[in-house]
């Protein structure tokens, strides 16, 4: 601070530190009239007030910028975590599918695609444990008459072709859940074809959520409809239909 052209340190005892001290200093040090002193004090008060407002606005702006920056960082961090979670989920889903595919392939004959005996017995035991609606179940056995002679006379290549053809015939004739679902979807397609309106579809299941969700994807792809709701059947229907059932209802 300069007084009378000389630089005076701000911590000098004679330098006013507060507004009342400044007003006292003006009255004592400056030869001003009372009116001039009031005018000077008002001008100083205005300057001080403006500087205080600017300082307050700057502080609030800095706080807002800090909060906004923190919010942006938090949002980016949240997005990164979501992306990582999605990546981990995708990897987990991929490996689950891969393990399931390898398990399926290891339990089926590579030529006929039919179950091997060990897996068949395991699946049969699981079915009998769950399927308790009736007292009796049946298993069909098929034999290729004279196959050894064909295999010995015509060669193993021809024998393999015979086995493959028989397996294909069995797969075509024996009803499976996949075929049943495909047939149901085919019937729905026939019903809504040419109606000129979008089909409304619902899917129900009994303890078979994964199959129902996979079936929903096929329904949407085939019918071009909105994604249908998937729900589990109630206790009464579940008791009659049994576990593993998947059903579809549709109207136009």
- Do 206 and 237 fall into the same domain? yes
What per-residue confidence (pLDDT) applies to 1?
Answer: 46
Q: Is the pLDDT of residue 187 over 80?
A: yes
Is residue 199 domain-resident?
yes
What pLDDT score was predicted for residue 54? 83
Q: Are residues 96 and 120 part of one domain? A: no
Q: Output the domain CATH number for residue 230.
A: 3.30.1180.10
Give a yes or no: residue 29 inside a domain. Answer: yes
pLDDT (tens digit, 9 = 90+) per residue, 9-59?
Answer: 545 556 777 777 877 887 787 777 888 878 888 888 888 888 888 888 888
Residues 192 and 131 in one domain: no
Backbone angles phi, psi at 199, to 5 degrees: -80, 145
On whether both 68 and 79 belong to a single domain, the answer is yes
Provide the whole-model pTM.
Answer: 0.40
Structure confidence at residue 44 (pLDDT): 81
Instruction: Decide if 3 is inside a domain.
Output: no
Give the model confidence (pLDDT) of 111-149 as tens digits: 888 888 888 888 788 777 766 555 666 777 778 888 888
Arithmetic mean of pLDDT over the chain? 77
- Could you tell me if 143 and 221 lie in one domain? no
Nearest residue to 209 (alpha-carbon basis) of 243, 242, 250: 243
112 and 68: one domain?
no
Print the domain residue range for 93.
9-106
Q: Return the pLDDT at 238.
A: 64
């Amino acid at each position: 601070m300069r007084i009378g052209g000389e630089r005076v340190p701000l911590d000098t005892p004679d330098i006013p530190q507060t507004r009342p001290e400044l007003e006292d200093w003006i009255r004592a040090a400056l030869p001003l009239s009372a009116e001039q002193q009031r005018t000077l004090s008002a001008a100083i008060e205005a300057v001080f007030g403006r500087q205080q407002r600017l300082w307050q606005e700057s502080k609030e702006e800095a706080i807002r910028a800090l909060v906004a920056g923190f919010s942006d960082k938090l949002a980016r961090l949240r997005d990164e975590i979501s992306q990582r979670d999605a990546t981990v989920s995708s990897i987990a889903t991929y490996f689950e599918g891969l393990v399931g595919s390898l398990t399926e392939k290891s339990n089926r004959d590579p030529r006929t695609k039919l179950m091997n005996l060990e897996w068949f017995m395991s699946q049969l035991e699981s079915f009998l444990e769950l399927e308790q609606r009736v007292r009796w179940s049946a298993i069909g056995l098929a034999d290729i008459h004279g196959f050894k002679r064909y295999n010995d006379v015509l060669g193993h290549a021809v024998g393999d072709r015979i086995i493959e053809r028989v397996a294909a015939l069995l797969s075509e004739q024996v009803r499976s859940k996949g075929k049943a679902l495909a047939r149901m979807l085919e019937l729905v397609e026939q019903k809504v074809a040419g109606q000129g309106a979008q089909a409304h579809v619902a899917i129900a299941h009994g303890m078979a959520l994964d199959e129902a969700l996979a079936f929903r994807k096929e329904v949407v792809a085939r019918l071009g409809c909105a994604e249908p709701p998937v729900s589990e059947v109630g206790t009464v229907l579940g008791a009659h239909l049994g576990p593993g059932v998947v059903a579809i209802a549709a109207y136009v």
